[in-house]
Structure 1
């Protein structure tokens, strides 16, 4: 092979423009100054081992430059919604693995040589038509989102390199097989395959218990990935009250991340796992009203930031969780007096400040992070809203599924902050009707606006535009590890279960909006294989009104040491009431059924309790 010179370590954009790159991470200053989207840097492996011909290199660079130019054009600000029409070009480079047509993963890898995960797509060299192979392909094409062009837009991307390891860890392989078979069984509606998935799950629990007892294995990437997959398994199957079954796995993953320390951020897989746990931790914190175990500074250090805008949104989510947990702690124990009233006013001020930061975050986003309104859906007289794909009103489109999920997190944070303001206002105003306060009108408007925004994002996330490409089509900066990218994906349903459940239980959601949201959850559970969504449709709660009524009952509790309570800045998880706005009987459950999983989590939690030192 002819020596081609020392490979450049610059970002893709600077190499394409043939200018000097300062190699600043995560985004080079050259791209920032010219207001270009920095696609990131090549993998260290690709810098050492280059296996492309010069012609292949040039073709890939031309495709990357063209895709970036198209994306910047399609997402330029527009005063009026305009449909985006396809340019008629062949899109086979973006959709590559179709099992039924016997197109191999190796071919997919060759078509996407410029991704940071180069070579990982050759996981399956031949089409696997047996059940295990079909389940594997189904999971990779529905739950594993791979970032392209060096960006950080991925989800479960760590699964592929762990599966391609020379020696795949048996506990990770069992956990992966359990998730793959469960998802495959749900979409096919095959009870025999569900039972098979449960047997594999039992095997995975035993293997992970062995790994947790081995000090050399417990800190490995495969162990943490296995814990995350077990949490996903609970959401897919919903064997044990959904959130109550998923929560212990997330708490165990948080403890493992804490023990692994900063060394885990030295590898690409370690960073991907850390971000995955951080994302799940935020969802768990906001949905259960429990405080995060560590503050935002610990979770969002410079080594763990792959996308600045996503990290800023997650920081706001963590701060929202801290405020909500503090409200729960004080309201569950404080009597109503002048000192406690001032404490509540201070929490209202903090919630407003974080909400303002959320608004500022949205206003300062670059074009490649913004959504567009594509069309307006007219009302349909006498329609069954539980069956409609699109709710009357706006229909928005996003650069990709990952960006849509980030926007969803921000909107849920704003709804929670507004609910906190209303709740604290009601506590301060009591016995006067809190709905007469000016704070109530503003907070209610924020809830209504964000509910509308979430509803407008659902059709895009559930693949509505995939059959209407004459309305909207774009090249995505992320793609699934297997299969066609523009088909219905289980991951989109997985992302949407929490936002849809949140607006379903909001006081400020209209009856037809609630019916529509419940119908979308039913669709996700029955057609996309996320059974957890079906359980959420059965919940009958309203927030913040139910919480306000509960707060009025707690305010009559015996007097406590107010100064001591107010001096406690951070509440321990055990001191916060689990006041997720669900049906009250769910919170009386001490732990979900399924003893092996409980023992697994208790072992991890006891191994890494809150007093253990952080790993180096």
Structure 2
């Protein structure tokens, strides 16, 4: 890579360090910066550093080695994945690109070998320790930038690339500003989780607490609360909670949610002022996606201000349409939870369900699914998935030894894959809502799975899950295009190293994978693959939130339907087949519902009776107009 030329010097070889090239700094030259963020290539100089420190002098220019300190030191060696434990040629630098069949502009650092790290226990908690040959801080920051900031998209520069202009004003190292603290804490937790450096976790936690305290002070200041850097701090803190390993799930969920609630408060205070800068617009897109995903998954109501901001926000048509549909999907998810409750007594219904209210939610869910299907059908060609190959049993395994058989789809870039997969997850939850409504309307003594609507929903859900499954190999490198133009089933790169997918890939795909793995429409083979994918994201990619998702053993919509039927049986005064009644039934449902559903498939007390007669559907009307109108169910042939 070359630094941009200035008035007195020609373009020079750049060593890709931040915030400026060290070669320029050493010679006293002003470094104008890099040519293009999308063309940034992070070069692995691990072998060079290891060789120089071991005593083998090469022709590389000498660099100052930081002192290790006089107090007790801790030696940390970087984690090396099992598939990458082989010797690479001396002095070689392996650079791998993101597995897009269209673009290979960005890169992910190859981590085959790395020097031991030394950090001094006498250092302050927010200081990143030093390493032999190269400060660990540079490796931590370079890792975070290449995995979360610098993008691989043809449409966007990166995911957290709004940090570049903000950190230029407040670079890492400042102890009184929340943004450098939040950036340092998140970079350290990401590096420690992915590279298996447990001794770095306490320092990341300590820096996180300092960032939290500084952020609270900034929010309390009316002037600073309106600054983009404060909103960026909250975004980084939510990322920290997603990456944080080894913490009880309820505490992690509470902290993650509290940061998002803080982001909502800041967005409400700023209003459309957040759209005045490119940085504010980018932060809004990220926070809106996080808020909507939390609402769809946890049935958390959205603030009305989020709808107003979305209406006022100008965006590319396809992305804007996805945003509008996702907001409606979140509304429907919240509505069904308020009416029928969730998985057990701890998620009870907020209001007594009525036939009119259930019908209103059903019609909204059916209409939303139809609009989702139409939007997918009319997407531009650049948004379409491309089937690049089929993997068979004889092909190599992927993702650290996970076997996969089936279709492999590729996309123009990871961001498009991310948005499509989240839309697919929203469609699965919307279909679950439709089936929950239909099961409630049929009553507890009729098997909802014997209807034509269930068969149609099952076919559509299976197609959605197949699309999600087919995207996973691409996200983690199995759809890469080699030098000959042929797709590769393995994660090997031409230089002989092992491809390391960016950590952001795990963040993007874990929730859609969880939605597909929890669906009744997934096959056992698909469920096994998806569960192993979540485990891989947690253990190899270093995303702590994926470990929580991998531990759940849920089935939707059958499990919430089973709990609803238990309550319906109690209201009818009939025995609940296979489970005790009353409080004992509620305890059993809360603790062992998965076993009941896995054994019986559904919860019924008598043989299924024929479904009632259906009538022609009427035109869809908004939820608010249907609250006091009684309507009939659609025809069995109506596709959900």
Structure 1 and Structure 2 fold alike (TM over 0.5) = yes
Alpha-carbon offset, residue 215 of structure 1: 2.0
Corresponding residue of 2:361: 347
Give the match's secondary structure for 1:465: coil
How far apart, CA to CA, are the structure 2 residues paired with 1:460 and 1:532?
A: 21
Give the match's secondary structure for 1:537: helix
Alpha-carbon offset, residue 313 of structure 1: 0.8
The superposition leaves residues 97-156 of structure 1 with CA deviations (integer Å, 9 ceiling, x where unpaired) of 3252899xxxxxxxxxxxxxxxxxxxxxxx99311121111101001144877x446421
Give the match's secondary structure for 2:169: coil
Higher relative contact order (CA 8 A, sep 6+): 1
Change (3 A) 1:145 1:270: same
How far apart, CA to CA, are the structure 2 residues paired with 1:369 and 1:346?
A: 32
2:559 aligned with 1:546, yes or no? yes
2:414 aligned with 1:405, yes or no? no
TM-score of the two chains, using structure 2 as the length reference? 0.63
Aligned counterpart in structure 2 of residue 504 of structure 1, from 499, 517, 524: 517
2:183 aligned with 1:170, yes or no? no
Aligned counterpart in structure 1 of residue 301 of structure 2, from 282, 291, 297: 291
How far apart, CA to CA, are the structure 2 residues paired with 1:178 and 1:458?
A: 29
Cα pair 1:385 1:516 within 8 Å, conserved: no
Give the match's secondary structure for 1:396: strand
Corresponding residue of 2:314: 305
Give the match's secondary structure for 2:254: helix
Q: CA RMSD in A?
A: 3.5
Give the match's secondary structure for 2:562: helix
Cα pair 2:37 2:150 within 8 Å, conserved: no
Cα pair 2:391 2:404 within 8 Å, conserved: yes
2:336 aligned with 1:323, yes or no? no
Corresponding residue of 1:32: none
Change (3 A) 1:266 1:546: same
Cα pair 2:336 2:361 within 8 Å, conserved: yes
Corresponding residue of 1:259: 269
The superposition leaves residues 575-598 of structure 1 with CA deviations (integer Å, 9 ceiling, x where unpaired) of xxxxxxxx968xxxxxxxxxxxxx
More helix per residue: 1
How many residue pairs get aligned? The number is: 441
Q: Within 5 Å, give how 1:517-528 maps onto structure 2.
A: 517-528=530-541
Structure 2: any 5+ residue segments left out of the alignment?
A: 12-35, 49-59, 61-130, 341-348, 489-496, 573-588, 592-640
How far apart, CA to CA, are the structure 2 residues paired with 1:188 and 1:433?
A: 50
**Larger of the two Rg values belongs to structure:** 2
Cα pair 2:37 2:157 within 8 Å, conserved: no
Structure 1: any 5+ residue segments left out of the alignment?
A: 1-49, 57-90, 104-126, 475-483, 560-582, 586-616
Corresponding residue of 2:121: none
Corresponding residue of 2:253: 243
Alpha-carbon offset, residue 403 of structure 1: 0.5
Cα pair 2:520 2:558 within 8 Å, conserved: yes
How far apart, CA to CA, are the structure 1 residues paired with 2:153 and 2:407?
A: 30
Corresponding residue of 2:460: 446
Alpha-carbon offset, residue 553 of structure 1: 3.8
Corresponding residue of 2:53: none
Change (3 A) 1:469 1:544: farther
Change (3 A) 1:471 1:413: farther
Alpha-carbon offset, residue 499 of structure 1: 1.1
2:443 aligned with 1:434, yes or no? no
Cα pair 1:385 1:512 within 8 Å, conserved: no
Change (3 A) 1:403 1:193: same
Cα pair 1:219 1:260 within 8 Å, conserved: yes
Corresponding residue of 2:163: 159
